[in-house]
Amino acid sequence: MVYRIARSALFLLPPETAHALTLDAVRLRGKLIRPPTRTAAPPVSVMGLSFANRIGLAAGFDKNGVAVDGWFSLGFGHVEVGTVTPKPQPGNPRPRVYRLPEAGAIINRMGFPNDGAERVTARLRLRRNPGVVGVNIGKNAATPLDRAIDDYLICLRTVFTVADYITVNVSSPNTVGLRSLQGAEQLAPLLSAVVEEAHALQMHHGKRVPVVVKISPDLAADELREIAKVAASVPVDGIIATNTTISRDAVATHALAQQTGGLSGRPLLAKSCAAVRILRATLGSRMPIIGVGGVASADDAQLLRQAGADLVQAYTGMVYRGPRLVRELADALRV
Ligand X SMILES: Cc1cc2nc3c(=O)[nH]c(=O)nc-3n(C[C@H](O)[C@H](O)[C@H](O)COP(=O)(O)O)c2cc1C
Length of the chain: 335
C-alpha 243: how far from chain center: 8
Q: 135 vs 153, which CB is nearer to ligand X?
A: 135
Q: How far is the CB of 143 from ligand X (least distance, A)?
A: 16
Q: 39 vs 248, which CB is nearer to ligand X?
A: 248
Q: 206 vs 250, which CB is nearer to ligand X?
A: 250
Q: 63 vs 139, which CB is nearer to ligand X?
A: 63
Active site residue 172: yes
Q: Using CA of residue 55, residue 12, residue 66, residue 89, what is the dihedral sign?
A: positive
Would you tell me which residues interact with ligand X (CB under 6 A)?
A: 58-60, 63, 82-83, 97, 106, 108, 110, 112, 136, 169, 172, 214, 243-244, 264-265, 268, 292-295, 314-317
Q: How far is the CB of 38 from ligand X (least distance, A)?
A: 29
Q: How far is the CB of 136 from ligand X (least distance, A)?
A: 5
Q: How far is the CB of 152 from ligand X (least distance, A)?
A: 13
* Catalytic residue, candidates 172, 216, 264, 272: 172
Task: Please identify the residue of the shown chain whose CB is closest to the bound ligand X.
Answer: 60
282-305 CB burial, b ≥16 within 10 A, e <16: bbeeebbbbbbbbbbbeebbebbb
Q: 93 vs 206, which CB is nearer to ligand X?
A: 93
Listed in sequence order, the residues at least 6 apart from 144 whose beta carbon sits closer than 8 Å to its beta carbon are none
Q: How far is the CB of 40 from ligand X (least distance, A)?
A: 25
Please write down the long-range contacts of 314-317, taking CB distance under 8 Å and 24 or more positions apart: 314/55, 314/56, 314/57, 314/58, 315/57, 315/58, 315/59, 315/60, 315/61, 315/264, 316/104, 316/105, 316/106, 316/264, 316/265, 316/266, 316/268, 317/104, 317/265
The torsion of the CA quartet 200, 313, 243, 96, rounded to 10 degrees, works out to -110
Which residues are marked as active site? Answer: 172
